[in-house]
């Protein structure tokens, strides 16, 4: 196994889109940030140098971080934030998993521009993929372009003022030709293909806000993995991807040589909430040897699903099942073996709720919560540190006499935990992509309406459920998941819609040490920021 080392310098640079030059906080001056490519079993070292005016951390989304919670990168959960002009070095092994993951800032809205791909190749090379070896592998990162100051947007969101929108969507940082600046269309992302060849697209939804439909005119996708877990190959003309999810899909360049639009269209909450003006974007797929100097009018456009078609998302996600794969080993196999009985059950209604603001009793504030408690950051000591030194309290640490609190649930090492996420949205018909750190979840079932144990438990797929780190709870529906709490530490669980997270739709799961040193959390690494907040 090798060691892959990167330096991430975070700073503000000026970027221009839509006729406006604005400062954007990014890694190494680029958007998206650098791609980390590793082979399963490698060690990753990333030196973060914070030249930005913000506190920040970097999270390695979907990486198990087995017995390495100290490097998970969640501010005030696993570490103190990296201050302006500060440095921090992350180190982790990528073991027992392969596929497409990503990294992003975990502070407020900074992840709107601080993100990049993390690609884990199999130890035995592409020949061990459970699908034909692709000609090329291409990361496709869906993001948003924000002309507003994200720090200000975040402040507004945490106060429940949620009418803030991005200016456009991006594919690999590019807005594309739906955006016109003084009569000049923006350049879009271009994917060059050779006729007859197969491409593996590693699609990541890094957007703060939207679930997307992805389509390529004249081509089909075969989805082969989601969240770095292989799935039963599933052929579809549209991919549906929620914030935090990744989808690996094969595309065969088998159409007539020419140019085809690659479209990413945000799914909008259904009426009456039609106030989300999120914009679609498009790039092009073009055949080498085809006509490349044709006009925009000659590019074939896909027919997109209706923007409110959330049922399409429901079926797309319901069609994903897990694929048993001989390359899976280690933590993965152990987790699969224990997919039998749940020893702990949780019902977690996740919803926005209207409360009265204490200091301004006349205004209504919107908060999001799970089990009626809205998450509030710990303010003095990160939860992991408090847990490790046994300084923490049990259960819910209430920091304020309101419905906001630092919600911590404890599990014994090895507990098999069932959770039903119930969406009970009052104000918005949003779906909720729930993301758990440090573990994958088996998606046992999903449904529309209210979960009813008496009838719905019979629908659980205990044979080949998909394994995800981000599970989409359908719009006005529920999702039942199971995970094995076998990774000691303090793990954040939250909605990956940034505005739901900012409003408190989050909690921390503390997994206790097991009975042996091998199943316990080691001490913080040397040089870890402890002590002063
Ligand atoms: Cu991708 Cu807690 O985040």
Atom of ligand 1 nearest to the CA of 437: 2
Q: How far is the centre of ligand 1, averaged over its atoms, from the C-alpha of 76 (Å)? A: 14
pLDDT tens digits for range 119-155: 999 999 999 999 999 999 999 999 999 988 887 877 7
pLDDT tens per residue, range 286-309: 999 766 666 777 889 999 888 888
**Per-residue pLDDT tens over the stretch 4-47:** 999 999 999 999 988 899 999 999 999 999 999 999 999 999 99
Per-residue confidence (pLDDT) for residue 190, from 0 to 100: 96
DSSP helix/strand/coil, 187:
coil
Domains of the chain and any CATH numbers: 1-120 (2.60.40.420), 125-326 (2.60.40.420), 331-519 (2.60.40.420)
CB contact set of 410 (below 8 Å; sequence gap of 6+) = 394, 395, 509, 510, 511, 512
pLDDT score for 425: 55
Classified as helix, coil or strand, 439 is: coil
| DSSP 8-state symbol, 479 | E
51-60, 268-277, 437-446, 489-498: least confidently modelled range: 268-277
Q: How many Cα atoms are found within 13 Å in the side-chain-facing hemisphere of 227?
A: 31
The whole-number average pLDDT for the span 42-70 is 97
- The set of residues, in sequence order, having a beta carbon less than 8 Å from that of 482 and lying 6+ positions away, is 339, 342, 416, 417, 418, 419, 441, 442, 444, 465
Please tell me the residue having the least CA distance from ligand 1 atom 1: 61
Higher pLDDT, 418 or 426: 418
Residue 387 — very low, low, confident or very high, per pLDDT cuts 50/70/90? confident
CA proximity to 368, closest of 210, 508, 504: 504
441: part of which helix (H) or strand (E)?
strand 441-448
Residue 337 has pLDDT above 70, yes or no: no
Cα of 75 to ligand 1 centre, how many Å? 11
Look at residue 404 in the predicted model and tell me its pLDDT: 58
Q: Report pLDDT for 278.
A: 61
What pLDDT does residue 506 have? 84
| Least-confidence region, from 372-376, 392-396, 473-477 | 392-396
Judging by DSSP bridges, how do beta strands 115-121 and 36-39 pair with one another? parallel
Distance 141 CA to ligand 1 centre (A): 15
Atom index in ligand 1 nearest the CA of residue 62 equals 1
Distance of CA 503 from the midpoint of ligand 1 (Å) = 15
Q: Which atom of ligand 1 is nearest to the CA of 501?
A: 2
Output the pLDDT for position 360: 36
Compute the distance from residue 16 Cα to the ligand 1 centre, in Å: 28
Specify the pLDDT at position 215: 97
Choose between 400 and 485: higher pLDDT: 485
The rounded Å distance from CA 15 to ligand 1 centre is 25
By CB atoms closer than 10 A (0-12, 13-18, 19+), residue 365 is middle
CA of residue 244 to ligand 1 center, whole Å: 7
pLDDT at 398: 42
What are the beta bridge partners of residue 375? 405
pLDDT at 116 over 90: yes
Choose the weakest-confidence range: 20-34, 392-406, 467-481: 392-406
Ligand 1 closest atom vs CA 74: 2
- ipTM more than 0.95? yes
Give the Å distance between the CA of 417 and the centre of ligand 1: 20
| Over residues 213-221, mean pLDDT | 97
Strands (E), 227-297: 229-236, 239-241, 246-252, 259-266, 281-287
Residue pLDDT, tens place only, 176-185: 888 888 888 8
Which atom from ligand 1 is nearest to the alpha carbon of 102? 1
Rounded to the nearest whole angstrom, what is the distance from the C-alpha of residue 291 to the centroid of ligand 1? 42
- Mean pLDDT (whole number) for 53-66: 96
Q: What atom of ligand 1 comes closest to residue 494's alpha carbon?
A: 2
The rounded distance, in Å, linking the Cα atoms of 499 and 125 is 39
For residue 496, which of 427, 437, 426 has the smallest C-alpha distance? Answer: 437
**Is the pLDDT reported for residue 331 higher than 50?**
no
Q: What one-character-per-residue DSSP string does 111-123 give?
A: GGTSEEEEEEE-T
Question: Which residue is closest in CA terms to ligand 1's atom 3?
Answer: 61
| Ligand 1, CB cutoff 6 Å, lining residues | 59, 61, 104, 106, 244, 435, 437, 492, 494, 496
Lowest mean pLDDT among 43-52, 81-90, 105-114: 105-114
Q: Which of 267-276, 303-312, 366-375, 392-401 has the lowest mean pLDDT?
A: 392-401
pLDDT value at residue 167: 86
Rounded CA-CA distance 524/384 in Å is: 10
Task: Determine the distance separating the centroid of ligand 1 and the alpha carbon of 61, expressed in angstroms.
Answer: 6
Is 302 within 8 Å of 376 (Cβ atoms)? Answer: no
The whole-number pLDDT of residue 255 equals 96
Residue 372: per-residue pLDDT: 58
Residue 10 CA to residue 49 CA, distance in Å, equals 6
Q: How far is the CA of 42 from the centre of ligand 1 (A)?
A: 22
Q: How many C-beta atoms lie closer than 10 Å to residue 30's C-beta? A: 13
From 228-232, 343-347, 510-514, the region with the lowest mean pLDDT: 343-347
The predicted pLDDT at position 307 comes to 83
Q: Are 216 and 261 within 8 A, CB to CB? A: yes
Ligand 1 center from residue 470 Cα (angstroms): 9
pLDDT for 107: 80
Task: Say what the pLDDT of residue 292 is.
Answer: 60
**3-state secondary structure at position 110:** helix
Measure the CA–CA gap between 125 and 354, rounded to whole angstroms: 52
Q: CA gyration radius for the chain?
A: 22
pLDDT tops 50 at residue 341: no
End-to-end CA distance of the chain, in Å? 36
Average pLDDT over residues 100-109: 91
My answer on whether omega of the bond before 518 falls inside 30° of 0, hence cis, is: no
The pLDDT confidence band at residue 204, using thresholds 50, 70 and 90, is very high
CA-CA-CA-CA dihedral for 209, 211, 217, 221, to nearest 10: 130
Measured in Å, residue 182 CA sits from the centre of ligand 1 at 38
For the CA of 104, the closest atom of ligand 1 is 1
Going from the C-alpha of 496 to that of each of 61, 114, 138, 170, 418, the distances in angstroms are: 11, 15, 24, 18, 20
Mean pLDDT over each residue of the chain, to the nearest integer? 84
- Which of 335, 332, 382, 437 minimizes the C-alpha distance to 60? 437
Q: How confident is the model at residue 351 (pLDDT cuts 50, 70, 90)?
A: very low
pTM of the model as a whole:
0.91
pLDDT-derived band at 340, boundaries 50, 70, 90: very low
């Amino acid at each position: 196994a090798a060691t892959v080392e990167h330096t991430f310098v975070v700073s503000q640079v000026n970027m221009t889109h839509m006729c406006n030059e604005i400062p954007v906080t990014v890694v190494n001056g680029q958007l998206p940030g650098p791609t980390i490519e590793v082979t399963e079993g490698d060690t990753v070292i990333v030196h973060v140098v914070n030249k930005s005016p913000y506190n920040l951390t970097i999270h390695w989304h979907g990486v198990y971080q087995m017995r390495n919670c100290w490097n998970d990168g969640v501010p005030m959960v696993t570490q103190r934030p990296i201050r302006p002009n500060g440095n921090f070095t992350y180190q982790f092994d990528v073991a027992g998993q392969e596929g497409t993951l990503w990294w992003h800032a975990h502070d407020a809205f900074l992840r709107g521009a601080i993100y990049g791909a993390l690609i884990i190749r199999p130890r035995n090379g592409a020949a061990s993929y459970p699908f034909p070896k692709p000609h090329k592998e291409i990361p496709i990162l869906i993001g948003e372009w924000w002309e507003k100051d994200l720090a200000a947007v975040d402040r507004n969101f945490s106060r429940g003022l949620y009418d803030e929108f991005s200016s456009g969507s991006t594919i690999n940082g590019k807005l594309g030709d739906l955006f016109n600046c003084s009569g000049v269309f923006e350049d879009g992302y271009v994917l060059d293909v050779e006729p007859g060849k197969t491409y593996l697209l590693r699609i990541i939804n890094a957007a703060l806000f939207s679930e997307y439909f992805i389509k390529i005119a004249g081509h089909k996708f075969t989805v082969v993995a989601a969240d770095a877990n292989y799935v039963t190959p599933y052929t579809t003309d549209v991919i549906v991807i929620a914030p935090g999810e990744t989808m690996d899909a094969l595309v065969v360049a088998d159409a007539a040589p020419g140019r085809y639009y690659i479209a990413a269209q945000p799914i909008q909450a259904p009426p009456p909430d039609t106030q989300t003006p999120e914009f679609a974007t498009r790039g092009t797929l073009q055949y080498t040897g085809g006509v490349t100097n044709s006009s925009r009018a000659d590019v074939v456009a896909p027919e997109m699903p209706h923007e409110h078609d959330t049922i399409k998302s429901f079926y797309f996600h319901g069609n994903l099942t897990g694929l048993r794969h001989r390359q899976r080993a280690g933590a993965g196999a152990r987790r699969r073996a224990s997919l039998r009985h749940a020893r702990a059950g949780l019902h977690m209604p996740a919803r926005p709720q209207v409360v009265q603001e204490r200091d301004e009793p006349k205004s209504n504030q919107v908060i999001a919560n799970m089990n009626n408690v809205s998450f509030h950051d710990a303010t003095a000591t990160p939860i992991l540190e408090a847990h490790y030194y046994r300084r923490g309290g049990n259960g819910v640490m209430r920091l304020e006499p309101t419905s906001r609190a630092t919600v911590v649930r404890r599990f014994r090492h090895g507990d098999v935990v069932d959770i039903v996420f119930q969406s009970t949205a009052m104000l918005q018909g949003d779906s909720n992509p729930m993301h758990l750190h440090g573990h994958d979840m088996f998606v046992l079932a999903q449904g529309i309406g209210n979960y009813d144990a008496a009838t719905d438990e019979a629908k659980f797929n205990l044979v080949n459920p998909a394994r995800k780190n981000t599970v989409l709870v359908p719009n006005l529906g529920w999702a039942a998941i199971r995970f094995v709490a076998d990774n000691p530490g303090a793990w954040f669980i939250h909605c990956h819609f940034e505005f739901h997270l900012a409003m408190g739709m989050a909690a921390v799961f503390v997994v206790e040490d097991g009975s042996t040193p091998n199943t316990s959390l080691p001490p913080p690494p040397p040089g870890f920021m402890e002590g002063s907040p």
